[in-house]
Structures are given as C-alpha cells and as structure tokens.
Chain A
Amino acid sequence: MTEILVFCETNEDQLDSTAGELLAAGQKLSSELSLPVSAVIFNPNPDMVLQAGSLGADKIYKVTDPKFQQKTDEIYTHGLFEACKQINPTVILAGKTTLGRNVAARTAYRLKSTVAQDCMDISGDKNSGLISVKRPVYGGNAQAVFTFTNPLNQVVILRVKTFEPLPLDKSKTAEEIDLVISMPEPKLKVIDIVKQEFEGVRLEDAAVIVGGGRGLGGPEAFVQLEELAKILNGAVGASRAVCDAGWLDHSYQIGLTGKTVTPDLYITIAISGASQHMAGCSASKNIVAINKDGDANIFKEASFGVVGDWEQILPSFTATARELTQS
C-alpha cells in the first residue's frame, strides 16, 4: 500500500476551489488507512504548492510542461495516468468538475482499474485497503454504497462541495517531488475556446439564489426573479426544464447535470423538486419553496414554503423583502 493521490486542478494562477475539498477527503481517508496524502499539480506555481501543503497535502508531485496550458481531457488524462504509473497510489481522488470527472474516469480505465462517480462520502478499510463510497443513483432517487475489489488505483470522483476544506495551516509544508512525464502530440486539436461574458454574482459563489422552474410559464417571469435576486444580493438559477425550453441559457442550470450550488438561501419558484434538480442544491442551508402543488417534492426538501400561485405570491414577497432589507 502506498498513498492517497489527489488530482488538484488549477484555475489561472491558483488552485481550484475543489482542491481543498479533495485534500480534506484525502485526510479523512488517511486517518482510516494510515497512508499519506499526496497532491499532483500540473504546471504549479509556488503559491499553489504552499497552498496545497497548508490544506493537507503531505507530499506534492509537480509536473511541468507547456502542453498542460491547454486544459483538455486528452492531455490531462495522459498526465494523470503517467503520474499514477510512477506513484502506484492506493486511491486517486478527483472532483466532479468538467475536467476532473472525465480525466479521472479515463485514467481509471487506462490503468485497467475502475472508478466511482459523483460520490458524497468515502471510507477506507485499513486491513484490506479497500474503499467504499456512498453515491446517489437513479438521479438521486436511491442511494448506493459501492466497494472496490482491488486495493490499487481506486479512482473516486467526489461531488463538488461535499467536503469542507480543512482550515489553512500555514505551518504545514509538504515534501516536493518533480515528476518527469513525456508528452506526446495530442490527437485532438483545439480550434477555439469561447467563454461567455458574465455579469453579477456567479451562481456557484452566490450566498442567495432565486431559482425558477417550468411553472413560471415563460422567460418573461425571470425579470421578477432578477429583481428579487438583486434585492438579496444573489443570483438567478433555473431547472433544466427552463434551460431546455430556451428561456435561459444552460449555464443557469442547477442539478445533477448542471451546477452544484450551496447557498445560504435557495428560493425556488415553480420548481417541482425532481431528484435530479435537488442533486445540485440539496446542500443549501435553507431552501424555500413557492409552488402551487402542495404535494410537490420540493416541499420535502424545503424548510419554509408557500403553497399557491407564484404570480400572486412573488410580488408581495419581493416588496416585503425590499422593505426589510433596506430598513
């Protein structure tokens, strides 16, 4: 048995926010398996290395190559796979991000191992070195526990925001190791990257989210949601039904196949609360529901709610919220 390897993603010149979550999960496993936690960082700068150390990495593998500037699954899969071949980790942890989930899954298969997707909890058995994970299946309607059968290269993809990063401990430093990996020419060529311009609070970072569903009847209603979001300093989100209908762009989608959000307050308006939607927001501190159907699933998840027509409820709610927050 060797170590717990965390694939730390980077974002411009910093570690991605998932890195701290994964290192915290790594430390939990570390105490169960008595194995050290190491991080692999592609094209790290000194800040990232310091940060990974103070967030829980005992050892840091640094891999440097200009090719990693291009964040494609192909290039990073090659990098992570080659790193794993040299390290032979017991466990590999990655975050369920666009890059993380694809790279981790492909690395698992390339290593002739296997992967557990979208995990919410993880534990290790000291004697066998085998990992068990808890994960939602059937869109969150059921919850499963899976156990690996081979204690080498067990790849686990953790749902974003399920683990709380450890408090930054600046006194902790990690051993640093340079890994040399030769990079082949990629088979896929990136022709261009288009990033949407974004105004206001980012959905993933918002402390308050006002989410709208199909029951709003059309895109016009979102003007009222925007207004409420503005008063509460929040962002607007939506269900997949809304995005599929083209009322809002898919970058607004919250859920299993959209964004994972954990605001302090999530106000849902005319959203039924399908398990696939809740998969992206069930860790919100407070969920408030406005829905005309008292039996809608959303009321099972909400802490406060009103059963009724949003067109009547929302204007008075918004007006009162405005008065309260301005006084």
Chain B
Amino acid sequence: MNIVVCVKQVMDPDTPISAFIVDEAEKKVIPAQGIPPVVNGYCENAVEAALQIRDQQGEGTITILSLGTDFVMDVMKKPLSMGADKMILIQDESASNLDASGIVNVLSAAINKISDVDLVLCGQQASDWDNAHIPMGLAENLELPCITSALNIEHTEDKLIVQSALPDGYQTFEAPLRSLITVNNLFGEPRYPTLKGIMQASRKSPEIWSIDDLGISKSDLEPSIILSELKIPVSEGNCEIIEGEDDADSGRLLALKLREEKII
C-alpha cells in the first residue's frame, strides 16, 4: 500500500505573541528570531495515522510530500525519524506566491507523478493560514472520496473503516483504499522519533523537485484570491484587575464587582 502524507513547515504556533511581527507593507509574517519552524501539528498527526496503518498491515510505503521555499532540513526530517520511508520536497521560490488553488494544483500534480498512490493523508489545517481547504481541493482534483477529522482508521482487506468526528459524536464510514483522509489532534499524539529512527532518517536524503518538473500550465498557478492586507489586530486591553487583601478576598470582591455591573 502506498500512502502519501502531505506535510507543511510552519512557524511555531507557540511563538510568544510578543515575538509575532507582521510586515504590513510586504504583507508577510516575519519569522521570529531564534525560534525554529516546526512541522505543522496536524501534519504530524497525519504521519502518525500513516504509520499506524502501515503497522497494522505489516507492509507499505509512506512518502512525505511537502511544498515550500525555505525548508529547514532538521525540522522537515522529523516525519522520516518517526518512521516514514521517503520524502519529496518541492522546493521552489515561487511557492510563496501561490494561493490555495495554486498549491492544490502543484500538490495534486506531484501526487499524480508519484505513481500508484493509494491513500492520501493530510493534516486538517496548517496553523499559519488556517485555510483548512487544501485537502478538500486535493480530493476534488484527484477525484478521491474524502473523509475529514479521522479519529481512527482501520484497514481491512481492500477497504478502510474510518471514524470521523462530529461536533457531538462520530460517524463511521466504509471507504475504498484510494481515498483522502484529514487528521487533527483528535487522532491522538504523534509518536516521538526513536534513536534508531533518527539514525535511519539521517541517512536518507529527500528528493528535491521544482514546480517546473510537474508540467503544470501557467494558468493553473494564477491566483484566484489575493491577500490585500495583513496586520496584527489591536486588542483593547483594558482589563480591570480586582485586588483584595489576599487571593480569597479578591475572589469575593470579583463576584461583588460582577454583581455591581449586573453581569451576574
């Protein structure tokens, strides 16, 4: 079974707000000094899902696919250290100018180029642009059935049994192997790379592709939506701090204050 997991390198979402800086003229977030990027959290969950499926089956190839500009190899190798077999990086300066449709067109051309792909797994959304629709676009382009927010994926013969989260419960689907599934934190913690995994990953070098290799027509890379403004929202920040003689007293005063303001 051939599994492709789409993975994105993102700014660490735990970057303190004080280190989060936007260049409004360039409409770009400036990478925080001294804080390395990370593999997007939900993408790690998707890698974990792929590894579990391969473990269940006892065979299979997991290929990590990523599109970006400035890959940090130590960061991007994490899925390999977790146990993925191969990695393809589409490293291309022009990637930063693509909109979601452009990204979808590049990734689907790449998945088509990796032949005999059965299952595509994606993190539900990337913590930078929070689009949460690149996987849907891939499913549409590749004409794959799509299941979102998987809680559990079970592989039986030629089918997948997938539990998909609902706001207050879940739904179980029977899907063909050739499907696209999105994964988020609900799937469970991604495993830590083992020392053996890290050693193996250090011996693997990713294949580097460029967008030109994929034979995509220029019109498929034209943006259909344009970023026209980017800024940090201003918060009013006028919290009234209630202070009593000690913490317990402050608690009492807080309740009295809320009563006075007719909030409780």
Contacts and interface: CB of A to CB of B under 8 A. Distances in A.
Contacts of A265: 258, 263-264
A228 to B, nearest CB: 10
A227 interface: no
A286 interface: yes
Contacts of A51: none
B131 interface: yes
A239 interface: no
Contact of B171 (A97, A190, A196, A276): A190
Contacts of A264: 263
29 contacts: A72-B171, A74-B146, A98-B149, A105-B136, A106-B140, A109-B101, A117-B130, A137-B128, A138-B11, A138-B13, A138-B129, A143-B231, A143-B233, A148-B224, A187-B176, A190-B171, A192-B171, A194-B170, A251-B167, A265-B258, A265-B263, A294-B241, A300-B236, A304-B261, A305-B240, A312-B247, A313-B247, A314-B251, A320-B256
B195 interface: no
Contacts of A244: 185, 189
User: By DSSP majority rule, is chain B's interface helix, strand, loop, or mixed?
Assistant: mixed
A21 interface: no
B248 interface: yes
Contact of A192 (B147, B172, B235): B172
Interface in B236-250: 236-243, 246-250
Given A146-B225, A189-B174, A324 B264 contact: yes
B17 A190 contact: no
Contact of B130 (A72, A138, A194, A319): A138
Interface of A: 72-74, 97-98, 101-102, 105-106, 108-110, 113-118, 132, 136-150, 187-196, 198, 208, 232, 240, 244, 250-251, 256-257, 259, 264-265, 275-276, 286, 288-290, 294, 297, 299-309, 312-321, 324-325
B233 A136 contact: yes
8 closest residue pairs by CB, A with B: A312-B247, A320-B255, A317-B251, A316-B251, A105-B133, A313-B251, A109-B140, A145-B229
B228 interface: yes
A188 B174 CA distance: 6
Contact of A142 (B231, B242, B255, B263): B231
B254 A317 contact: yes
Given A146-B225, A191-B172, 18 more contacts: A98-B166, A102-B146, A109-B140, A137-B128, A137-B130, A142-B233, A143-B230, A144-B229, A147-B228, A190-B173, A191-B173, A193-B170, A276-B127, A289-B239, A313-B247, A313-B254, A315-B251, A316-B251
Interface residues of B, number: 83
A73 B146 contact: yes
B254 A312 contact: no
Nearest to B222: A149
Interface string B106-145: 0000000000000000001101111111001101110001
